[in-house]
Structure 1
Amino acid sequence: MRRALLRLLLVPALVAAGVLTAGPAAAAGPVRVTDFGPNPGALEMYAYRPAGLPSGAPVVVALHGCTQDAAGYALGSGWPELADRWGFTVVLPQQVAANNANRCFNWFEPGDVTRGRGEVASIRSMVAHAVTAYGADPGRVFVSGLSAGGAMSAALLAAYPDVFAAGSVLAGVPVGCADDLFSAVACMTVSGQRTPGQWAAAVRAAAPAGTTEWPEVSVWHGTDDRTVNPANALDLRDQWTAVHGLPQVPASTTALPAGTTRHRYADADGTVRVTTYTVAGMGHAAPNDPGTGPRQCGRPAQYFADTVCSSWYDGVSWGLDRPGGAPYRPARL
């Protein structure tokens, strides 16, 4: 009852103040999938599959932000364009108003981010459905999301490191940052409250006991984000480099277009485990780059910034551009 009251009072105010993201209206594209399996989080599943997609193709799970929907996020992010180009399935979970008045994924609710429970369990069912119904490759499943979807992406990587090979967090927050709406707001605005080891402990606590293999993680954030403090990107870096046993010092730094700086954090063999992308001057948004060029993707929309195509960079890092059924392998320096 207390949480329901908090949502009624706080969430509409946050949206009105611009604290929670808004997005484009629904558009044609992904197809609704029903009866995908156990759905304890009461989410909806949408999927986009290129015509003639063979079995053994990868899967990308793409998670929208608050008040967005699956179809709008598909258009803005450009994942279906890349699926047509490279050949993979896009799974798009969709939040419903009955779960959250502004259709935010409930990344701050312990009952929705704990393995086997709530919304993360529903998304796990969607992945399992894609593997069985579409013949997708269970070794090449990836996840990406914006804002609340980004925080849920991080939660999925922690709860299901045995399901997701890699993932990206766009304008999101670290795993274990909040456990109710009040702490979620604090998490979005204040950071730096824990050491790398403490952040890593939150990931390990969420994962199955004895986990030793961890997903690769990329983190995207704009320097002018007034909704989610950009320092959260540093906390995410600290969290996942510590999980992988790496120092918080990049092994390489690269200047990319549109004022984007990429830092890569690699192990002793030169295998990249964590990557951060900082986009100068960008607010609270997912980077995209509408156009027909080989590195472009997405459509103009609110909370998508015309900078670089983050989906393209993540997709290449995950090897989605490689033809055939090559096993997933992390990028190397």
Structure 2
Amino acid sequence: MPIPSDTHGSLAELHGFGTDPGALSAETYIPENFPKNGPLVVVLHGSTQSPESYDLGSGWSTLADECGIALLFPGQRNSNNALGSFNWFKSGDIHRDRGEPLSICQMIKQVVDDHAVDPSRIFITGMSSGGAMTSVMLATYPEVFAGGAIIAGLPYRSAENLMEALVRMKGYGGPSDRTLDAHVRDASDFRGRWPTISVWHGGSDKTVDSSNADSIVRQWQKIHDVEGPPTRVEKVDGFPHKVWCDDTGRAVIEEYMITDMGHGTPISAEGAEGLGEASKFMLEVGISSTRHIAKFWGLTQ
């Protein structure tokens, strides 16, 4: 039996979720209106952030109250990474059944068991190092997730040490498209229906170059059998939006490039539909990535 949770503000700490080889923390938000067989969204914070600060900025718990969504917030410890970043580039933390990915998977299982989550409606999102770890989770445990959203992140196994990570973040070098595709296919034995992919990036990001967004799209195009130009190109809330649909018409990859935005999560905090709160790396640009991601996953109307 798991140890009872301790409440800290709006998030509750999750204990006893497994062996936790990545030595991560875990917090949850389960709204009062969460239904049996409801969905779960896993939310990964960025460097120098905490689960609480990322939730406040992104507005996920507010949306969870609106729509009856369970939330899980894995947290990094400074003892693992001085900047509080998920270790998306370390060999011990980028493979299935090891390190941080296994810890996150153990957390998910505990929340699914504790709250009767629908295992076919589990999603994951993250920003910066959390976005890069989202890439890791989607590749290493594709059977767990129906969809993922990578914000200001990088492709899976684009770097495998700190020096490579710093170079890739600036948009230099990196594996070929063929190698990136092979990395995902080799990360597990999965050959079923792959998770859908939502990619968000600032066009003026000086921390993680926006070329990484295009690399993420290309990493998943062949996986989803949607190589080539997008099915449609449009503007949403004034920003370029590309969508790739499979041969059934289902949208399987989307990309938002937020023109002139720097490094961070796009939010829209104003008005009746406003979510979140602007702060460092939580950038008020007039489009809520949280709302649009949830809509892409079919969690909102």
User: TM-score scaled to structure 2, two decimals?
Assistant: 0.94
Correspondence for 1:19: none
Q: Which residue number in structure 2 is paired with residue 128 of structure 1?
A: 109
Query: Aligned ranges for residues 77-226 of structure 1 at < 5 Å?
Result: 77-191=58-172, 193-206=174-187, 208-226=188-206
Which of 236, 247, 254 is the equivalent residue of 1:268?
A: 247
SS of the residue 2:240 aligns to:
strand
Q: Aligned runs of 1:234-245 on 2, under 5 Å?
A: 234-245=214-225
Return the alpha-carbon distance in structure 1 between the equivalents of residues 171 and 63 of structure 2.
Answer: 35
**Matched residues in 1 for 2:132 and 2:244: separation?**
21
1:53 positional shift: 2.0
Task: Name the amino acid aligned to 1:300.
Answer: A
Pair 1:246 & 2:226 matched: yes
- 1:230 matched to 2:190? The reply is no
Return 5+ residue gaps in structure 2 as ranges: 1-7
Cα distance, 1:191 vs. partner?
Answer: 4.2
Identify unmatched segments of 5+ residues in structure 1.
Answer: 1-26, 323-333
Q: Kindly tell me: are residues 88 and 210 of structure 1, through their superposed partners in 2, closer, same or farther at Cα, counting changes over 3 Å?
A: closer
Match of 1:279 in 2: 258
Provide the C-alpha distance between the structure 1 equivalents of 2:180 and 2:228, rounded to a whole number of angstroms: 13
SS of match in other structure, 1:57: coil
The CA deviation string for residues 20-77 of structure 1, in whole angstroms up to 9 with x for no partner, is xxxxxxx832111111222110100000111242221100000000110000001111
SS at match of 1:253: strand
> Shift of residue 192 of structure 1?
6.0
Q: How many residue pairs end up in the alignment?
A: 293
After TM superposition, give the deviation of residue 210 of structure 1 in Å.
Answer: 4.7
CA deviations on 1:112-146 (whole Å, 9 max, x unpaired) are 12111100101001110111001111110000000
Q: Is the 8 A contact 2:33 2:68 kept in 1?
A: no
Residue pair 1:77, 1:298 contacting (<8 A) in 2 also:
yes
* CA–CA distance in structure 2, aligned partners of residues 76 and 152 of structure 1: 19
Equivalent residue number for residue 278 of structure 2: 300
Comparing 168-177 with 28-37, greater Cα deviation is found at 28-37
User: Is residue 2:46 matched to residue 1:68?
Assistant: no
- After TM superposition, give the deviation of residue 286 of structure 1 in Å: 0.4
Q: Which moved more, 1:64-73 or 1:238-247?
A: 238-247
SS in structure 2 opposite 1:152?
helix
Q: Which residue of 1 aligns with 2:270?
A: 291
Shift of 1:201: 0.7
Following superposition, the deviation at residue 172 of structure 1 comes to 0.4
Deviation at 1:198, TM superposition (A): 2.1
- Displacement of 1:205 in angstroms is 1.4
Partner Cα separation in structure 1 for residue 107 and residue 34 of structure 2: 18
Percent identity of paired positions between Structure 1 and Structure 2: 36
Q: Cα offset for 1:185? A: 0.5
Look up the equivalent residue of 1:313 and give its one-letter code.
Answer: H
One-letter amino acid of the counterpart of residue 117, structure 2: A
- What code does the residue aligned with 2:131 have? G
Q: CA RMSD in A?
A: 1.4
Q: TM-score, normalised by structure 1?
A: 0.85
Q: Distance in 1 between matches of 2:87 and 2:292?
A: 27
AA aligned opposite 1:299: E
Give distance in 2, aligned partners of 1:85 and 1:192.
43
